[in-house]
Amino acid sequence: MKLKVLGSAAGGGYPQWNCNCPMCDGFRRGTINAQARTQSSIAISSNSIDWVLFNTSPDILTQIQQCGVLQPARNLRDTGIASVVLMDAQIDHTTGLLMLRENKKPLRLFCTQPVREDLSVGNPLFKVLSHYCDINWQPIMLDEEEFDIEGAADVAFKPLSLTSNAPPYSPHRDKPVPGDTLGMQMRDKKTGKTLFYAPGLGEMEPHVWEAMQSSDVVLVDGTMWTNDEMISRGASQKTALAMGHLPQSGAGGMIEWLDKLPASTRKVLIHINNTNPILNEDSPERQQLTEHGIEVAMDGLEIEI
């Protein structure tokens, strides 16, 4: 199984277009050691030809251009994207679907029923998209042990419902239901090795922790360093937890949990918010992650599992 990180930032990307926080301003001025990032998305393949796209960010066209394997150029109109999986209904994970509207074949799309409802009513993305291309919706059932996805024949996928938060336009906002947000465990059928992916993770529940402990690679929520990060920056009045993201630092934070994993587990953070000091590669916070054996995903990162 091969994984390509197409985008590693949270919504808005990095630097965010209208933000002058120390991280964004420092990047533009060249006063900090940081790399630009597009909004989070990954692609999975078992043959390096066909790819399963996880989330479609508003930056999808740039990501396709930067990731040559997604355009194999076998025909006049072609794509390496065989299927799309939506982990939630958030704008930064779904708006890119509109950029795929020229697809000549029905767009094979996997998501839960709550996500489908949010993208049909609260944000009627599916209705708009249906005027341009057909959608072949494949429901993700939370009671499934494992299922297959076209484009990664040698990978078994297992969905896990996560406690996070639904988008502002969802009727489930601040009162989430199972299926609003997913994690996904992926098992290579040939090697038996596994990946756990969860770009949005607001609470470490027993079934989530069990999946992380049994995975060889965990690629998980790295949105914010502290719970009050957005408040202290003056960017919002909401905490990380209220937004559905477990902060890295502090008691019960992501670092504390990742430290409990087996030493052989590869630990990588993704979905990094533009305010997060770990974007500065010379920061004390980034050094702390390094000391704990935790990586920070960047656009273009490749992992073979």
pLDDT of amino acid 108: 94
pLDDT at 235 over 90: no
Q: Once rounded to an integer, what is the mean pLDDT over residues 217-237? A: 93
- Mean pLDDT rounded to a whole number for the chain: 94
Check residue 278 and report its DSSP letter.
Answer: G
CB 172 within 8 A of CB 180: yes
CB 96 within 8 A of CB 86: no
CB 236 within 8 A of CB 228: no
Least confident of 101-115, 205-219, 273-287: 101-115
pLDDT of amino acid 269: 98
pLDDT of amino acid 234: 86
pTM of the entire structure?
Answer: 0.95
Least confident of 74-78, 143-147, 182-186: 74-78
pLDDT at 288 over 90: yes
pLDDT of amino acid 258: 98
Residue 243: pLDDT band by 50, 70, 90 thresholds? Answer: confident
Q: What residue ranges define each of the domains in the chain, with the CATH number in brackets?
A: 2-304 (3.60.15.10)
CB 115 within 8 A of CB 88: yes
pLDDT at 150 over 90: no
Strands 155-161 and 302-304: unpaired
Q: What is the pLDDT of residues 29-66, one digit of tens each?
A: 999 999 999 999 999 999 999 999 999 999 999 999 99
CA-based nearest residue to 9, from 279, 285, 289: 279
pLDDT at 3 over 90: yes
Q: Rounded CA gap, 113 and 111, in Å?
A: 7
Q: Once rounded to an integer, what is the mean pLDDT over residues 104-111? A: 90
DSSP H stretches of helix in the chain: 22-29, 60-66, 91-94, 113-117, 125-129, 206-213, 229-232, 254-258, 284-291
Q: What is the pLDDT of residues 250-270, one digit of tens each?
A: 999 999 999 999 999 999 999
| 3-state SS record for 155-205 | EEEEEEECCCCCCCCCCCCCCCCCCCCEEEEEEECCCCCEEEEECCCCCCC
